[in-house]
Amino acid sequence: MATARPILLVVACALVDADRRVLIAQRPEGKSLAGLWEFPGGKLEPGESPEDALIRELEEELGVSTRTACLAPLTFASHAYEGFHLLMPLYVCRKWEGFPQPREHAALKWVRPQALRDYPMPPADLPLIAPLCDLL
Ligand SMILES: Nc1nc2c([nH]c(=O)n2[C@@H]2O[C@H](COP(=O)(O)OP(=O)(O)OP(=O)(O)O)[C@@H](O)[C@H]2O)c(=O)[nH]1
């Protein structure tokens, strides 16, 4: 049977540093899922490719610049929220310019993949942890 929920496409990125730690970002007060730790990213703007949207979001949210060749698709999240069904490709990026700053988040943290479960994340993100642990 068809679902009434519209699909929402959101692109997200795991920045990975030289110590194989992953950058997570805490959603700020006033937003849905406030206080939870997520991967930087966001919705596509009209006409954008997923990679272009992610490059823009990384610049807006963290002040770092990267390019399509540095974005490797890893896995995706598919999760039914109350008003929409989230489809969220997760890319891995190991090469960027700039030092990540929390421009739109409450805080940033570099975390070993095995420690991601210690940080409360949106329910859609939980299945993403195992592929990250396998990769890193
Ligand atoms: N960027 C990002 N979004 C995520 C993750 N996990 C997850 O469920 N989401 C959901 O995907 C949507 C991302 O939207 P967004 O980043 O463009 O905008 P937003 O936070 O202002 O969303 P909002 O309008 O629901 O508050 C939100 O509904 C958010 O809850 C994640 O790891 N990273």
For the chain, the domains span 7-135
Whether pLDDT at 3 is above 90:
no
DSSP code, position 14: E
pLDDT for 1: 58
CA 76/CA 11 separation, integer angstroms: 9
Residue 6 Cα, ligand 1 centroid: separation in angstroms? 15
Residues with CB under 6 A from ligand 1: 10, 12, 31-33, 38-39, 41-43, 86, 122, 124-125
- Report, as an integer, the average pLDDT of 102-121: 98
Position in ligand 1 atom list of the atom nearest CA 39: 32
Question: Using an 8 Å Cβ cutoff, are 16 and 40 in contact?
Answer: no
CA 90/CA 16 separation, integer angstroms: 12
pLDDT for 98: 98
CATH architecture of 7-135: Alpha-Beta Complex (3.90)
Residue 42 Cα, ligand 1 centroid: separation in angstroms? 6
Task: For ligand 1, atom 18, name the residue with the nearest CA.
Answer: 42
ipTM: 0.94
CA 53/CA 45 separation, integer angstroms: 7
Q: Mind giving me the DSSP string for 80-101? A: E-SS-EEEEEEEEE---BS---
Position in ligand 1 atom list of the atom nearest CA 128: 32
Whether pLDDT at 2 is above 90:
no
pLDDT for 4: 80
pLDDT tens column, 115-128: 999 999 999 999 99
pLDDT tens column, 32-91: 999 999 999 999 999 999 999 999 999 999 999 999 999 999 999 999 999 999 999 999
The per-residue b/e assignment along 32-60, b for 16 or more CB within 10 angstroms, e otherwise, is eeeebbbbbbbebeeeeebbebbbebbee
- Report, as an integer, the average pLDDT of 11-28: 98
**What is the CB neighbour count within 10 angstroms for residue 28?**
13
